[in-house]
């Protein structure tokens, strides 16, 4: 399969949003996606980009994304945080994910970061197995915490 991996462009964002929604649907959380194309354009291609991404293409059609940003650990320094990594279902098991993941690792090396981190759902065995092929550690120790914008606004009413 002839696959091209390249840096993402603003014009790619409609296809990226579709893949984000495809992943959310796979994770039974499509109703949680509130990001818009406008948000992605402003946040990724405004005066201060908050994220970057790579795309995997076959015949000029985007079939996968590696969507990342840089996070800072007070213990370890700079890390690439892989926010979303998705390959269209019909192109899985053809090595597309490996090529895309390897290119993401190359970015980590190029930026001289201290590593890569990501999250994976505990029931997503195919993804866990994929990451383990790269000798990745999958932690069961850490729990995720978050406050939504609405929760923060409600806290501000109290403060």
Q: Which residues participate in catalysis according to the annotation?
A: 131
**Length reported for the chain:** 159
């Amino acid at each position: 399969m002839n696959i091209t991996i390249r840096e993402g462009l603003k014009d790619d964002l409609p296809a990226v949003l579709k893949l984000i929604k495809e992943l959310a649907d796979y994770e039974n959380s499509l109703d949680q996606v509130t990001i818009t194309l406008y948000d992605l354009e402003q946040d990724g291609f405004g005066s201060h980009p908050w994220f970057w991404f790579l795309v995997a293409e076959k015949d000029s059609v985007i079939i996968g994304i590696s969507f990342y940003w840089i996070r800072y650990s007070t213990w370890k320094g700079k890390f690439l945080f892989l926010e979303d990594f998705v390959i269209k279902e019909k192109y899985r098991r053809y090595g597309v994910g490996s090529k895309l993941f390897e290119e993401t690792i190359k970015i980590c090396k190029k930026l001289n970061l201290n590593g890569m981190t990501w999250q994976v759902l505990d029931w997503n065995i195919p993804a866990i197995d994929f990451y383990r092929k790269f000798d990745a550690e999958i932690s069961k120790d850490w729990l995720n915490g978050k406050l939504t914008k609405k929760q923060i606004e409600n806290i501000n009413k109290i403060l």
